[in-house]
């Protein structure tokens, strides 16, 4: 009796072996159950492989900051760590389905911070991207998890680096932060890309000088501010130059002889005609205070020069004539008198090395201007006449030189007269004079004068 259970057990084991070795001998119930388990196992394996494909490994960087500092800088970035993607192109890796069938894409980034014994912090970012897949077969439609190509993770890490670079911790923050190990600088430099105020990995140096030898690189915001500051300084400098040029032109206009044969228009809209008769063709309508050179006078009409070879006629009653024309009715304007003409005229201009031995311009390239007297008179021989004409030439040449592409060091004026005379000034001296930093007397004291008595009133002639 005791051997019967053992014999029955052996028989059952042999039957089970036979079913496993020879599937044909399995019952239909066992076969269906085995097929179901096999399909479940295959589906589970396929799902696991898809999930493993969709979930990418997190992207990490090492920041040369403590973990509390990184957490504080990361806090404002968490608001943008999740949201909706307007498009998937450029944010996900390779997928088998066409991108146009994905809709309502969303992303969510998670952070993991790990403090190291060296005092720095490893930040890992993992981005999960999901979208609704509108499959042709409605049974296959649904949300899919898509692989990230790392763009979202790297963008967040870049913004975190910028926040840490631009951060200047206060004394209270430095006191509240945990003290870093004293042996940090004696550890081997890790082979990672560093971010933060400490910059890149320090070169081998002593523990006392390493932290102070590397200046903190400026953040992008500071670089932009510095660039805007330089642009503003350049604009202000350019504005000063333009203001000086305007003042110079006004000075030139005041010092130059004003033509005495100009007629000014009284009222806007005065017609300028092609012939001195009513009904003639109108060339154009002049504006108030427009000035034209008088060519001829008639009782009711004035022949004026418009520009170049253009001529026209305008009613005499519509013009303000100079006194000499308003007093009488000459058939032609009188020629200008000698008093209306400048005492000198420019005969030649060229650019070359400074011919003298004046140290500020010796051996440098200057603009050389030759002038001659218009007529031999007492007016030409006065020091005041020389200085006035030299002043007007300096102002004109300085304006022309400032806009010239050829670099010049100064200006030299040669008076080709019986008693001669040379005067020179550097461009720096001219700029100081134009800006008002130097008075006229101080300017002439610092100019090159040869002989000095030819340009100074105090010196006897």
pLDDT in 10s for each residue of the chain, 461 residues: 444 455 555 665 566 555 544 544 445 555 556 666 666 655 555 544 444 444 457 899 999 999 999 999 999 998 888 888 888 888 888 888 888 888 889 899 999 999 988 888 999 999 999 998 888 888 888 888 999 998 999 999 999 999 998 753 443 444 444 444 433 333 344 444 444 444 444 444 444 444 444 455 557 778 888 888 899 999 988 888 887 777 767 666 655 555 678 889 988 999 999 999 888 999 999 998 888 988 888 888 999 988 767 889 999 989 988 877 766 555 444 544 545 567 788 888 888 899 888 999 988 999 999 888 876 554 555 778 888 888 888 888 777 776 666 778 899 998 887 777 899 999 888 888 877 788 888 888 899 988 888 887 654 43
> Contact at 8 Å (CB) between 128 and 146?
no
Asked whether residue 221 is domain-assigned, the answer is no
Q: Same structural domain for residues 366 and 436?
A: yes
- CB count within 10 Å of CB 266 equals 14
Q: Same structural domain for residues 48 and 60?
A: no
Strand partners, 90: none
Asked whether residue 210 is domain-assigned, the answer is no
Of 298, 309, 308, 301, nearest in space to 270 by CA? 301
Domain end position, chosen among 165, 193, 214: 165
**CB neighbours of 310 closer than 8 A, spacing ≥ 6?**
283
| Torsion, CA 447, CA 453, CA 458, CA 461, rounded to 10 | -160
Q: Same structural domain for residues 361 and 290?
A: no
Q: Same structural domain for residues 138 and 32?
A: no
Question: Distance (Å, rounded) from C-alpha 252 to C-alpha 258?
Answer: 11
Using CB atoms within 10 Å of the CB of residue 237, give its burial: 0 to 12 exposed, 13 to 18 middle, 19+ buried.
exposed
| Torsion, CA 300, CA 303, CA 307, CA 310, rounded to 10 | 110
Domain end position, chosen among 280, 300, 335: 335
> Contact at 8 Å (CB) between 205 and 213?
yes
Of 285, 288, 292, 283, nearest in space to 321 by CA? 292
Phi-psi region of 145 (alpha: psi -120 to 50; beta: other; left: phi over 0): beta
Question: Distance (Å, rounded) from C-alpha 250 to C-alpha 256?
Answer: 10
Q: Same structural domain for residues 317 and 362?
A: no
DSSP 297: E
CATH of the domain at 120: 3.30.530
Asked whether residue 253 is domain-assigned, the answer is no
Question: Distance (Å, rounded) from C-alpha 295 to C-alpha 312?
Answer: 10
Asked whether residue 102 is domain-assigned, the answer is yes
Q: Same structural domain for residues 318 and 373?
A: no
Q: Same structural domain for residues 40 and 103?
A: no
Question: Distance (Å, rounded) from C-alpha 162 to C-alpha 221?
Answer: 9
Range of the domain at 21: 4-53
Domain end position, chosen among 277, 300, 335: 335
Number of structural domains in the chain: 4
Q: Same structural domain for residues 73 and 108?
A: yes
């Amino acid at each position: 009796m005791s051997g019967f259970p053992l014999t029955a057990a052996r028989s059952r084991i042999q039957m089970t072996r036979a079913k496993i070795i020879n599937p044909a001998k399995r019952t239909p119930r066992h076969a269906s159950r085995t097929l179901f388990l096999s399909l479940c196992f295959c589906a589970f394996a396929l799902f696991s492989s898809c999930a493993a494909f969709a979930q990418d490994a997190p992207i990490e960087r090492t920041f040369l900051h403590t973990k509390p500092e990184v957490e504080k800088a990361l806090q404002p970035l968490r608001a943008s760590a999740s949201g909706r993607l307007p498009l998937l192109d450029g944010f996900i890796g390779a997928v088998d389905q066409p991108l146009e069938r994905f809709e309502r894409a969303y992303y969510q980034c998670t952070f993991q911070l790990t403090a190291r014994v060296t005092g720095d912090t490893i930040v890992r970012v993992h981005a999960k991207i999901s979208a609704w897949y509108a499959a042709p077969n409605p049974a296959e439609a649904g949300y899919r998890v898509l692989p990230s190509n790392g763009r979202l993770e790297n963008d967040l890490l870049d913004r975190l680096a910028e926040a840490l670079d631009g951060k200047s911790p206060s004394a209270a923050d430095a006191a509240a932060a945990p003290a870093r190990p004293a042996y940090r600088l004696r550890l081997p430099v890790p082979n990672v890309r560093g971010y933060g105020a400490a910059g890149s990995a320090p070169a081998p140096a002593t523990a006392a000088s390493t932290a102070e030898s590397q200046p903190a690189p400026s953040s992008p915001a500071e670089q932009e501010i510095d660039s805007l500051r330089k642009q503003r300084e350049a604009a202000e400098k350019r504005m000063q130059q333009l203001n000086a040029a305007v003042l110079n032109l006004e000075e030139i206009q005041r010092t130059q002889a004003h033509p005495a044969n100009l007629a000014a228009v009284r009222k806007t809209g005065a017609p300028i005609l092609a012939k001195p008769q009513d009904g003639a063709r109108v060339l154009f309508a002049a504006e108030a205070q427009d000035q034209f050179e008088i060519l001829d006078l008639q009782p009711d009409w004035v022949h004026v020069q418009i520009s170049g070879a253009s001529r026209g006629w305008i009613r005499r009653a519509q013009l303000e004539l100079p006194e000499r024309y308003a007093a009488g009715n000459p058939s032609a304007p009188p020629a200008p008198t000698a008093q209306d003409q400048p005492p000198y005229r420019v005969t030649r201009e060229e650019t070359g090395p400074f011919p003298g031995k004046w140290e500020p311009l010796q051996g440098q390239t200057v603009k050389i201007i030759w002038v001659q007297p218009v007529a031999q008179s007492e007016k030409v021989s006065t020091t005041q006449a020389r200085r006035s004409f030299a002043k007007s030439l300096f102002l004109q040449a300085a304006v022309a030189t400032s806009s010239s592409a050829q670099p010049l060091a100064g200006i030299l004026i040669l008076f080709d007269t019986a008693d001669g005379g040379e005067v020179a000034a550097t461009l720096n001296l001219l700029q100081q004079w134009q800006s008002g930093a130097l008075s006229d007397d101080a300017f002439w004291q610092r100019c090159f004068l040869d002989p000095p008595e030819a340009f100074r009133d105090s010196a006897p002639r």
